[in-house]
Amino acid sequence: MNALHKRLIRSSTLGALVILALLFIPAGTLDYWQGWIYMLVTVFESAAYSIYLAKHDPALLKRRSEVGISYEKEPAQKIIILSLYVTCLVFIVLPPLDVRFGWSLVPWYISILGDMLVAFSFYVFYLVSKVNTYAAANIRVEEGQKVISTGLYAVVRHPMYFGAMFLFIGTPLALGSWWTLLLVPVFLSILIARILNEEKILARDLPGYSEYQKKVTTRLIPFIW
Q: Cα separation of 200 and 197, whole Å? A: 5
Q: How big is the CA angle at 57 (ends 75 and 137), to the nearest 5 degrees?
A: 15
Going by C-alpha positions, the residue among 125, 109, 100 that lies closest to residue 37 is 109
**pTM of the predicted model, to two decimals?**
0.89
Lowest mean pLDDT among 65-69, 94-98, 113-117: 65-69
Q: Within 13 A of 47's CA, how many CA atoms are on the CB side?
A: 12
Q: How many CB atoms lie within 10 A of CB 99?
A: 25
Q: Cα separation of 180 and 168, whole Å? A: 10
pLDDT attached to residue 5: 65
Looking at residues 195-208, what average pLDDT do you find?
Answer: 92
pLDDT tens, residue by residue, 18-56: 899 999 999 999 999 999 999 999 988 988 888 888 888
CATH topology of domain 3-215: Four Helix Bundle (Hemerythrin (Met), subunit A) (1.20.120)
Going by C-alpha positions, the residue among 138, 141, 154 that lies closest to residue 206 is 141
With cut-offs at 50, 70 and 90, classify the pLDDT of residue 1: low
Residue 80 phi, psi dihedral angles, 5° rounding: -65, -45
